[in-house]
Amino acid sequence: MPQARGGALVYLWVSEPLPLEVPAGTSAAVTVRVSCADKRDRAGMILIITAPDGHVAAHALAEHADGGSETVIALEPPPRIGEYAFRLVLPAHEFAGSNYAESAIDVPVRVVPQATSLAVWEVPSPVVAGTLFVVKTGAKSAADAALSGCAIEVSNEAGAVVARRLLGGAPHTGTGALYWTEIELQAPEREGMARWSVRFDASELDLPHDGAGTSFSLSVVRSPEHVLSVKVIEQATAAPIPNVELRLGAYRGTTNASGVAEIALAKGRYELHVWKVGFVAPPRPVEIAADTFIEIEALVLPEEEPDARWRM
């Protein structure tokens, strides 16, 4: 509520919900409204703003359609986490023969850390138990701040940190501010799915930021013992079909220009799925006990079902 001394009261308030919440290093634009029972326009009068650091600025009021007056002010709090207040004052004044009291209001501002986001990509699938593999990971500031030299940590399922790397000096190609690095990791010794966590440490930044976290899943398999060769042809013409995606559990492959894909995998029973837009073939059980060759005949898929992915 505005405070006033000596004379008729002029109402002073801001239209935005308080307290304002501002990410560190940014400003908040607020609309300050002034009105009085006499509905007289106070356009041109000066509003005094005192910042938390004591800096004083003046803003002229403009006429508003409802008979009051207003101005838009950019409040710039210190770039440090904390609670601050701006003091807004309309000085006491005489207007059309009437005296009006000073009116003042405090505008609280809460400065919060800038947000960051974290991504992991190019995770190989599957990986052989106990072997080394490489992933890419990167972090981005909501303020597009430079994050080079900040640390990325990867932890295994037990919570132990298994790798720590610093982000590179330049953003990833095609991005404005995604700073990234490659991290070499060692796969677990046991088969199955593993879920590892990644953490970005923002504590070294001058501009306060929150850290960020994410996770990625890893399919771990036994060392390959045999090679499965799969040729996919069109049933009606026997023409080879390139770029067909193959899936056998955690294993993946894609046919080449000759319609052939080779997948190294361990002994065992699998179900082979094939997929390509415009074609359909049913899943096929496969027993791998030695190097094996399979030919798959695919039917042309009707036009109304071009995207029936993995339904074969």
3-state secondary structure the chain: CCEEECCECCEEEECCCCCEEEECCCCEEEEEEEECCCCCCCCCCEEEEECCCCCEEEEECEECCCCCEEEEEEECCCCCCEEEEEEEEECCEEECCEEECEEEEEEEEEEECECEEEEEECCCCCEECCCEEEEEEEEEECCCCCCCCCEEEEECCCCCEEEEEECCCCECCCCCCEEEEEEEEECCCCCEEEEEEEEEECCCCCCCECCEEEEEEEEEECCCCEEEEEEEEECCCCCECCCCEEEECCEEEECCCCCEEEEEECCEEEEEEEECCCEECCCEEEEECCCEEEEEEEEECCCCCCCCCCCC
Please state the rounded mean pLDDT for residues 13-29: 91
Please state the pTM of the whole predicted model. Answer: 0.76
- Residue 29 in this model has a pLDDT that exceeds 50: yes
pLDDT, one tens digit per residue, over 171-215 is 999 998 999 999 999 999 999 999 999 999 999 899 999 999 999
| pLDDT tens by residue, 121-163 | 999 989 999 999 999 999 999 999 999 999 999 999 999 999 9
Q: Give the domains, in start order, of the chain with CATH numbers.
A: 3-111 (2.60.40.1930), 116-221 (2.60.40.10), 226-300 (2.60.40.1120)
The pLDDT tens digits of the residues spanning 77-121 come to 999 999 999 999 999 988 778 888 899 999 999 999 999 999 999
Q: Residue 306: pLDDT above 70?
A: no
Name which residue leads in pLDDT, 31 or 41: 31
